[in-house]
Amino acid sequence: MSVLVIGGDKITRLQSLLETLGATKTHHWDSRRNSTSHKQLPHNTDMIIMLTDFLKHNSMDHFKRQAKKCDIPFICVKGMSGCSECQITQMVEGIRQNKCMSPSCSGGCK
């Protein structure tokens, strides 16, 4: 599973969680530069996680539209609380079963 994380500076805790859930590739865009919002999603992206604490609204809207267009499930989380970890875990499990369980999933996997 390939995961794109957008936002945040250090994602070591999130990366560890994703590895335990079976992610083989994790791409990270910190979204500090304006050029980030012009990037195209990497090929074979299975899931997108947006860390809203460190993400500009325009960038988030841009990536939401791209994800919906490509039928890639995404989740927007604020920080890495236990609740966020639970939502991400549910979403990964849903992707594995071809049906996302996350209420905030906007991908075409339901």
Q: What is the pTM of this model?
A: 0.83
Question: What does pLDDT average to over the chain?
Answer: 83
Residue ranges and CATH numbers for the domains of the chain are 2-96 (3.40.50.10700)
Name the 3-class secondary structure at 55: coil
pLDDT digits (tens, 9 = 90+) for 42-92: 989 999 999 988 788 888 899 999 999 999 999 999 877 778 888 899 888
- The residue type at 15: Q
Q: Are 100 and 94 in contact (CB under 8 A)?
A: yes
Q: DSSP alpha helices (H): ranges in the chain?
A: 12-20, 57-69, 82-96
Q: Which helix (H) or strand (E) holds 3?
A: strand 2-6
Greatest alpha-carbon span in the chain: 36
What is the DSSP secondary structure assignment for residue 34, as one 8-state letter?
A: G
